[in-house]
Structure formats: structure tokens, C-alpha cells
A and B are shown apart, each in its own frame.
Chain A
């Protein structure tokens, strides 16, 4: 298929092609000039550079936003390259075809795909480079390569011969690229799975020297602050730059596509001058948008027929014949990404080229959109990726890189554009809110026999990748329920109603797992309660242990997970001591999910006081994520997901009034703080030598229903509207 991805209609069209076999695959075409990585003398391939002094540099082609690609990806290469991973240098790769993420079809970091995509690819890249180095040394010595071995960046040959990688690197890069590249069996891993391995970026990060986008310093650069329409879809009518231009330190005031920027000698000067612009706005199509109307229209939409995406048997007949019908409707709120580093980009646009230095998750798209915004050709745009001060999906969007390029072009200056926190929080692409309806038929013992499900929510992909949206289905809106792991023998009917609210939505850590799976696991708990069953045993008893392969499983494996899920649930019961007697006002809740080919089960223990305030006391998590590359950081990802999900489940919400986002900083939009994080957070991994599963996202979705189900166990209230603020708990 060939599709067109629109970033923003007015700006750029990017031709992409790909196939949907086994998941989403978008292959982005890049101009040939940008694909070719200048292969210098010591580059056996695009992933490894070896200098004559034996310095080994490994290219990391995914964005480091906390999830440890800076270490885990070099570990995969080092395992086969036979170098000390702690002695290497790491560089972030530029956009190039060789660095495309095969699971996503673009050079893009997201979907918990980095390690899954790299698992074979990078080990083979390391092995291939090693074989070429060995072949070069063997050729020098006139011996057969099979008589040589490699370890610690050194080749050993017959008769005590040795050669450093550096000494043969130039020659190695001219050797034939091996066609057969055997890989070590897991039993021989020395790097992969090393529980003592430290992050390679920690030393920088504890000294304040890691270079985030906002830390970019280029001689002669200026700082830009901006003002953008406060209302979604608003546009500029007029502004008055008289006072701003007269401020000492201000270089220029420029209008760009979505606002006005002041370019000044430092950010504070620019920020103060922006406040003097007196901009007038046309409120646009969302002038009357508020939450009452938004939810009312969404509720109306949820009564329309959706597009069916999973069906078996005859759900209606199954419901008609059921001993009892149980229904529930859940409402999930909009969320902001709010990474700690506000959006920013350095841009220097001149007549024939542009340099863009930016904290992005999607470096491959940047040359295209900057070209579209400046009139340059994509191959004239150089993009450098920095460390990212959080991503969470926000930096898949390239809007801020476009803005900086426009401001640089209009002002004629090299510009560091920095958004305030308020700019950032009110100009996000938000995690969609939605309505999730279930109707279940159960038999006399409470066992699920038939299930109808309908989700109603905005589609993210219809803006970003419209061509993958077909017949009313956005595949990314199905995550977390298309892989429904249970049996309902009489029939299932799952449908999706695509409903635009006027709020721009984007991919947010865990994407629709955070919607569908949250609602589903709350509902399963309601069914278990109805059956009077232990909620873990209830789930185990109805797991689909068969071989159904789902037609569409997003970024999940799309393969049966019943057996793995059963193992996780049984382990979780033991580790959490599930079912133990809890004091009044305290409860345990359980939830489980497959996402990104990882199984995550969580038991949350909460305390709920008389005013329905919820405290999460303890979280026990069991994860089957296959092989762990960097175990300590696999753990860190699960810990981080629990924190992120806890915020969304308990305290965070974005609302809109008159088309304006009502939360603009961390007072209105609350993030979990250290005093709110569970005192005990136990994470256990199932020992496995299976292929790695993704870990950057799945647990975000599981903690939310685990908490909600624990609230029910504690005080008998079912949370149907999230976040689980006291009023929403009390209403349950």
C-alpha cells in the first residue's frame, strides 16, 4: 500500500509506503542523499565506528528519553561485537534509512518497539562487524578466519598473534559483508541479561552535563519566546509589537504560522517582551467547546453503531440466552504528556540549508516538515537529536521543530525557541478521553458467556497517519482489547465509534491500552464480584488457552498469550499474598494485560479514607517480558510506568472551557509526587528466554484498574469515571 502521512495539512506531505503484515509498518522514503551515511575508514557498518586508537563508537538510532536505549541497544551490539560495553562511546544516529524501526516503518521511537526491533538486528550488526574485523586480521596474517577469535576488542590468531580492532578497522570496512551471521545462544550471553550493568548515561545525568535539547548552545544564537492562540483552533488577528521592540535586548518580533515570537538575547527578555504583544485572536471553531458539551456529544455518539473489529459466535443471541446480563460504562479523561523538559528546538535556517537540533522521537520526519515550512529541500536539512527530557509520545509530534524553523527563517537568526510550561501544557496533543461500554451475559455461576463492547473515542491516527484508518477503524484505538484474552463461548462483538471532539489528540505512553484495557480490567473485576469468585482464579478459569491469532493486534505480538498470562497470574497471587485479610478501608485489587508482547499483572493495595481520598500503599507487579536485555532498567521502566499510570488513574485530568485548556501548569495538572508514590513497589520478572517484549508502556495501563479494583475491595465503590478523585469514587 502507499499512503500519505500528513503532519499538518498546510505544511508537508510525506510519502510513505509499507505493508500491514503482522502489525503496523510504514516505510518512509527519504531522499537518497540523506540516507547515505558517509562511511569513514573504520565503519564496518552503520552501527559501529572503530578508530585507529581502538575507540569503539556505537550508534544509537532511537531517542533516549529515559527508557535506556542509550545502554540497552549498545549492549545488544557489544554482545556480538565482543567489546566492553562500558568502554565504548555512544552517538545518536542521524536520520537514515538503515536506522528505520522495522516495527514502525520509520526512524521513530515509540510503541515500546526499540528493543524488540533491535533484538536480532543489532546482535547481527555486532556479529557482522566482528566477522569483518576478524576476516581483516586473518587476511593480514594469511591464516583462515576460523583459526582466529575475538574478545575485548582484540583479535587473536595462531601462534600468539594479536591485533586490536582499531588496527584492522579500515581494512575491515572493505571486507565482504558476511551473508550468514550466526548468533550466540542465550547460554553464552555475557552482556545481555547482566544484572550488574549500569546505565552509560548516568554519570552525565548526575553531573548536569547530559545535553538536552534546551541545553543546546551555539555561538551567536538568540532565544525565542512565543505566544500562541490560547484556544484550540484559534488564529491570530493582530498584535502590537511597539513596546516589545523597544525593550533592551530584543532583536526582533516575528509572526509565524501559529503565533508571534520575540527573539532576544536571552530567554527571560524574550519572555517579558512576549507579554507586551497584546495579541488578538479569532477563537475559531472551538470557541464554545466545554466538557459538558464534549461528554454529551460523546455520549450521543456512543449510542450509534460502531465499526466491528472483533466478532465471534452470536453475541446478541448469547446475551438473550444468558442467565444474567451485566452492564457497565466507564469514562476516561483527557491527559497531557507534560514531559519535564518543555518543548524546544534550536533552528538555524539560511538560504540553502538548515540545522535543527531538537529533542525528538521522530527525527526522520523533521527534515520533511522543516523543508515544507522553509522552502528548503529535505536533504538541505540537518537534524541532530539530543537527550530528551521525557517523551511519553509528545515528541513524536514535530510541531515545535517546525515553529523554531519558521522563527529562525523569519528572524534570520540562529534561534533556540523555548516554550513555557504554559505553552507546553495548553498546546499538547492530548491522550484522548473516551466512553467504554460493556454488556456481558453470564451463566448461573457467573461465568462469562457473551460480551458486547463498544468504545467511543477520538482517533489519533486520522490526523497523523490517515491512510491506516479504514472503514471507521483506527488500529491504534483498538489496543488493549483487540487482544481480549478471555473466552466468551456464545459470542463476542467489539466495536469502535470514532468521534472527534475538537481536542487534538496524540499518542500518549501506552496509547489505547490506557483506555480499553483499563475499562476491560475494571469490568472483569465486576464480573468476578458478581460470580462471588476470587478475581485471580476467575480470570485464570476463563483464559483463552487456544491458538487464536488476532487479525489485528497493534504493536502486540498478535499471538495467544493465555499460558503466559496464567503463569503471571499464579505468580502474582503468591508474590502479592493476594486474598489476605485487609483492615477496614484497605483493599487489594488485581489487573492483568498483554501489551507490546509483554504480560503485566499488578496487585495494588490501597487505603481509602472517609472523604474517599485514595492512597496507594503497595504495588506488586509480575511481568513476563521475555528476555531482559538490561534487567535493572527493565525494572526501572516498570517502576516508571506505575508512577505515570497512577497519576492518570488517580489525580490527573485535562479539561477544556471555551476551547481553552484549563490546566496550564503542575498546580492544575497534577503529577504524582514522591509522597504519593507507593511505599512498597515490588516487581518480579518471569524467567524467560523468549523474545523480548516491550516495557516502556504496558504497566501504565495495568496499574489503573488494579487501583480501581482495590478501591472497590476497600470501600465497595466502583470507579466508573476517572481519574479516581474523591467525588468520582463517592459516585461509584
Chain B
């Protein structure tokens, strides 16, 4: 089926089966490879994007269900988002594979909670796995980003 939606503000129309996860439409059809495949079951958070400003797991979001809606990927954060600046200032990434998902979750958290506590961060970010163990820096970077304008 044909589905039209917006990615990072740009209108896109794709012809794929309606059950195709947004993840694979972004990666394979449209070439937004910043969004990562990690588990395919919403268990790891690597594929996190924003749907109408809220964090969703793109591996569990069927393309047929989001016609006309707004998707933001890591590419759409723009590179100068306060979360990206904080991540860069603290050199958060190690292998870096999970970090787009981490930053999409973190930016969604900060959009609704301007000053998250450790508990808020734990609750919101516990769906994003990092096997390299960058969690102490993720916590610090979210707090640093919260202080940025």
C-alpha cells in the first residue's frame, strides 16, 4: 500500500506492505540509517524515534498505522540539539550503536520533564539497553542537557 507521512519535516510517500515496521521503512526504503535495529521486539530501544513528538519503538510501529503523522529520527534532531551537545561534551558513546535510540528517548524525556531526577531518568530510560555500559554518562548528559538552553 501507499503511505504518506513526514520524516524530519519532509513529506514522504512509500509503497510497502502495511505491516512493515517503521524501522525498516526508515532504514531500507528511505535511507535513514541512524535509526538502529537491535531486537525487533521493543526490548532494547535502539530503534527509538519520535512519533508526533513522543518516543516510540519504530520496530513495533507499523507503517500502515501512521499515515499523515510526523516522525523525527536522530537525523532530524539536527546535530545541535541540547541532548546531542551534552552527549558530545561528555563523550557518552562507546561503540555508539544504541546511542541514537538513547538520545531520542532522552530528548523525549526532556520535552516533558525539564529537570528530571535520577528516578525519572531511570524510569524513562530503562527501555534503552547499552551493552557498552555508558549509563553513568547518559545520566550525567541528560542532567547537563537539562541545564542547557
Known contacts being A206-B87, A392-B131, A640-B132, is A667 close to B43, with CB within 8 Å? yes
Known contacts being A202-B87, A681-B136, is A208 close to B131, with CB within 8 Å? no
CB 8 Å contact bits of A405-446 with B (1 = contact, 0 = none)? 000000000000010111000000000000000000000000
Known contacts being A205-B96, A667-B41, is A674 close to B131, with CB within 8 Å? no
Q: Which chain B residues in 6-28 approach chain A with CB under 8 Å?
A: 16-17, 20-21, 24, 27-28
B129 to A421, Cβ gap below 8 A? no
Taking the complex as formed, is A728 at the interface, i.e. its CB lies under 8 A from any CB of chain B? no
CB 8 Å contact bits of B98-112 with A (1 = contact, 0 = none)? 111001000000000
The stretch from A88-96, A383-391, A467-475, A488-496 touching chain B is A383-391
CB 8 Å contact bits of A627-664 with B (1 = contact, 0 = none)? 00000110010011111100000000000000000000
A207 to B21, Cβ gap below 8 A? no
- Complex contacts, B123 vs chain A, CB 8 Å: 675
- Complex contacts, B75 vs chain A, CB 8 Å: 207-208
A636 to B94, Cβ gap below 8 A? yes
Nearest-CB distance from B66 to chain A (Å)? 15
- Complex contacts, A389 vs chain B, CB 8 Å: 36, 95-98
B131 to A340, Cβ gap below 8 A? yes
Cα A202 to Cα B139 with chains together (Å): 17
Nearest-CB distance from A280 to chain B (Å)? 25
- Complex contacts, B99 vs chain A, CB 8 Å: 205-206
A673 to B126, Cβ gap below 8 A? yes
Known contacts being A390-B97, A421-B39, A641-B133, is A207 close to B24, with CB within 8 Å? no
Taking the complex as formed, is A266 at the interface, i.e. its CB lies under 8 A from any CB of chain B? yes
Nearest-CB distance from A224 to chain B (Å)? 12
- Complex contacts, B16 vs chain A, CB 8 Å: 266, 268
Q: Size range of the interface on A? A: 35 or more
Neighbour of B24 across the interface among A267, A341, A643, A644, CB < 8 A: A267
CB 8 Å contact bits of A199-218 with B (1 = contact, 0 = none)? 10111111111101011010
Cα A204 to Cα B38 with chains together (Å): 19
The stretch from A64-72, A529-537, A563-571 touching chain B is A64-72
- Complex contacts, B127 vs chain A, CB 8 Å: 673
Q: Which chain A residues in 42-84 approach chain B with CB under 8 Å?
A: 64-68
B139 to A66, Cβ gap below 8 A? no
Cα A41 to Cα B139 with chains together (Å): 47
A268 to B94, Cβ gap below 8 A? no
Nearest-CB distance from B23 to chain A (Å)? 8
Nearest-CB distance from B72 to chain A (Å)? 12
A388 to B128, Cβ gap below 8 A? no
- Complex contacts, A321 vs chain B, CB 8 Å: none
Nearest-CB distance from B128 to chain A (Å)? 7
Cα A422 to Cα B136 with chains together (Å): 28
B84 to A666, Cβ gap below 8 A? no
B133 to A644, Cβ gap below 8 A? yes
A198 to B91, Cβ gap below 8 A? yes
- Complex contacts, A198 vs chain B, CB 8 Å: 88, 91
Nearest-CB distance from B118 to chain A (Å)? 7
Q: Max chain A CB contacts within 10 Å: which of B88, B127, B133?
A: B133
Q: Max chain A CB contacts within 10 Å: which of B43, B77, B92?
A: B43
CB 8 Å contact bits of B38-57 with A (1 = contact, 0 = none)? 11110110100000000000
Report which A residues bind B (CB closer than 8 A): 64-68, 198-199, 201-210, 212, 214-215, 217, 223, 265-269, 272, 338-342, 387-392, 418, 420-422, 632-633, 636, 639-644, 665-667, 671-675, 677, 679, 681
Given A205-B96, A269-B17, A674-B126, 9 additional A-B pairs, CB 8 A: A66-B132, A198-B88, A207-B34, A217-B31, A267-B37, A387-B96, A421-B39, A632-B91, A666-B39
